[in-house]
Amino acid sequence: MTAAAITSAAERRRFLLPLALAQFICSFAGSNMSVMINDITEDLDTTVAGVQACITLFLLIMAVLMIPGSKLTERWGRKRCFTAGLVLYGIGALLSAVSPGLGVLILGNSVFEGVGTALLIPPVYILTTLHFGDLTSRARAFGVISALGGIGAAAGPLIGGVIAEGISWRAAFVFQAAVVAAIVLLSRRIEDPMPADPTRPFDAAGAILSSVGMFCLVFGLLQADNNVTLMAAFLLAGVALLTWFYVYIRGRERAGKEALLPTRLFRNRTSNLGLATQNIQWLLLMGTMFVVPVFLQEVRGYNPIQTGVVFTAATLGVLVSSLAAERLAKRRSQRTLIMAGFVTAAAGIGLLLALLAVSVRVIAFAPGLLLIGLGLGVMLTPSVNVVQSSFPAQDQDEISGLSRSVSNLGSSFGTAIAGTILVSDLASGDTTYAIAMAVLAAFALIGLAAAARLPRSSGQRATTDPIAPHAPPAAVQRG
């Protein structure tokens, strides 16, 4: 199948279906596990903190490998990376399903699924960009993919809760493996319109420095409740490695060599502010998606189905507001939408805290979660627009990879920071929950301050970036 061959609606559906399903399952994996924590801890004889580490590592591995994964598509080929990523993901899902303990669950869910996602997600967007040449058809194609990603994230808690309660938490991973197998079969007819270039330079040292540096930062945060000295050591190591990474890539540029990322990406003030808002948005979303379900199950005693049902208020809010984002962008500036999103999300967190002592019913959490979802959904795409429109076409692939890495890193920070506060003393009941949510509210205010410093006219050029946390926006790929 070539770009010219995609002319009919039927051909478009056949091409997009496996790619959209791939985005669906990756978004599903990022949201479904939080409602199964209680069952997993009992079955594997582990702790909530252990499962928290598993979820955080899954998000972190995606973050640290997203940029290298994008670069490898040029050397290995888009279709080959897509298929290899699916195979690794499927192996990880099956390993997770039969895991006898936390170690194997981390190997399957965090490592294999995380690496697989970092390999398969970039080709989804690169292949779509290459096969749809005009902006209108490309925008429509990315709309389909982003919709499936949003559905995956929205349905994750509910589907995960139903499967865990009706069958077993292990069946949720079998479900993922089955979907991956279907994607492999459906994608057989997809062809890579550009040949792989094995001679393309790959900055392996830069990839290692950036990946290990980000890993140390998040791993250090996870040690906050266990060993303050170890936490400080890892945080310092992370800062040192990322500083070394920047000095290293600047040296490669001066020597005329290709670096993992060009340093000019870090010198744009508007883009830097936009990246900060992206990071905090996903920190809020994933922090909430971890803290609220764990609190409802571990402290309030609700089952996975009850938890999943009430939490769909947040994901419904994300879907509704993100669907309206295009119309809102025609009336309001991107800066205004981002600021409004942070204000709404902060109000939602405030409502969750206000209703905490008023009612013990699970439905009391729905209004606050809905506000959080509405706030996050309305600002996710504008933040990406701000970043993407800060650079010319030739930089779109690099900034797209950096943008997705920063967003996934924010997801990791959310589960690491807020999650660590919550699990530090679950026996205290409402106290650590309130502190964790208050910390998330503080981050919302930091995000609001960053958004307020954006230029009033920034990011007016529309992009086709989906709302899914693990998806890079449509990049203009260099041939």
- Lookup result for tokens 């994607």: 183
Q: Torsion-angle region of residue 351: left (phi > 0), alpha (psi -120 to 50) or beta?
A: alpha
Asked whether the predicted pLDDT for residue 287 surpasses 60, the reply is: yes
Distance CA 75, CA 85 (A): 15
Q: Is residue 43 a contact partner of residue 173, using CB atoms and an 8 Å limit?
A: no
State pTM to two decimals.
0.83
**Same topology for domains 8-191 and 266-466, yes or no?**
yes
Q: Which pLDDT score is estimated for 191?
A: 82
Domain covering 8-191 assigned CATH 3.30.980.20 in the classification: no
CA distance readout (Å), 429 to 261, 270, 297, 347, 435: 45, 42, 11, 23, 11
Q: What is the mean pLDDT of residues 370-385?
A: 84
Asked whether the predicted pLDDT for residue 41 surpasses 50, the reply is: yes
Q: Please state the domain extents for the chain.
A: 8-191, 204-259, 266-466
Distance CA 235, CA 256 (A): 32
Asked whether the predicted pLDDT for residue 339 surpasses 60, the reply is: yes
Asked whether the predicted pLDDT for residue 233 surpasses 90, the reply is: yes
Q: Is residue 149 a contact partner of residue 471, using CB atoms and an 8 Å limit?
A: yes
Top pLDDT among 142 and 391 is at 391
CATH architecture of 266-466: Up-down Bundle (1.20)
Distance CA 359, CA 364 (A): 6
Q: Which of 204, 198, 203 is nearest to 77 (CA)?
A: 198
Q: What is the mean pLDDT of residues 174-192?
A: 92
For 55-112, what is each residue's pLDDT tens digit? 888 988 988 898 888 888 878 888 999 999 999 999 999 999 999 999 999 999 999 9
Most confident of 10-14, 88-92, 324-328, 359-363: 88-92
Q: Collect all residues with Cβ–Cβ distance below 8 Å to 473 and sequence separation of at least 6.
A: 125, 384, 388, 400, 403, 404, 463, 464, 465, 466
Distance CA 316, CA 280 (A): 20
Residue 341: band (very low, low, confident or very high) from pLDDT cuts 50, 70, 90: very high
Residue 237: band (very low, low, confident or very high) from pLDDT cuts 50, 70, 90: very high
Top pLDDT among 36 and 427 is at 36
Asked whether the predicted pLDDT for residue 165 surpasses 90, the reply is: no
Residue 397: band (very low, low, confident or very high) from pLDDT cuts 50, 70, 90: low
